[in-house]
Copies of this chain bind each other. A is one copy, B any other.
Amino acid sequence: MKLREFAKQLGLSPTTVSRALSGYPEVSEVTRARVAEEAVRLGYRPNVNAVRLKTGRAGAIGVVMGRAGEFHFAEFMAGMAERLVAEDTDILVIPMADPDHNDEMQLYRRLVESQRVDAIIVHSPRPNDERIALLHKLGMPFLVHGRSDIDVPHAWLDIDNEGAVRRATSHLIDLGHTRIAMINGRPGATYALHRDKGYREALQSRGIELDPQLIASGNFTDELGFRFARSLLEQANPPTAIVAGSMMTALGVYRAVRSLGLQVGREVSVVAHDDVFPYLTADNMAPSLSATRSSMRAAGTRCADLVLQLVSGRSPLEIHELWPVELILRESTAPVQR
A interface residue numbers (CB < 8 A to B): 43, 45, 47-50, 52-53, 56, 58-60, 65, 67-71, 73-75, 77-82, 84-86, 90-97, 110, 113-116, 219-223, 226, 248, 251-252, 255, 258-259, 277-281, 284-286, 297
Contact = CB atoms under 8 A, between A and B. Distances in A.
A251 B252 CA distance: 12
Given A116-B48, A280-B222, A71 B71 contact: yes
Number of chain copies forming the complex:
2
B221 A279 contact: yes
Nearest to A223: B284
A4 to B, nearest CB: 15
A48 B78 CA distance: 27
A93 B95 CA distance: 13
Given A49-B56, A52-B53, A255-B286, 4 more contacts: A45-B113, A71-B279, A85-B96, A220-B279
Contacts of A43: 113
9 contacts: A49-B49, A49-B56, A59-B116, A81-B96, A90-B94, A90-B95, A92-B93, A221-B280, A255-B286
Contact of A69 (B60, B75, B251): B75
A278 B114 contact: no
A53 B49 contact: yes
Contacts of A56: 49
A284 B71 contact: no
A48 B81 contact: no
A59 B115 CA distance: 13
Contacts of A285: 255
Nearest to A107: B85
Contacts of A286: 255, 258-259
A113 to B, nearest CB: 5
A186 B52 CA distance: 40
A85 B80 CA distance: 23
A222 B90 contact: no
A297 B284 CA distance: 28
A91 B93 contact: yes
A248 B49 contact: no
Contacts of A79: 69
Of the candidates A45, A69, A73, A97, the one having the most CB atoms from chain B within 10 angstroms of its own CB is A69
A104 to B, nearest CB: 12
A65 B219 CA distance: 26
A221 B286 CA distance: 15
A134 to B, nearest CB: 14
A280 B48 contact: no
B279 A219 contact: yes
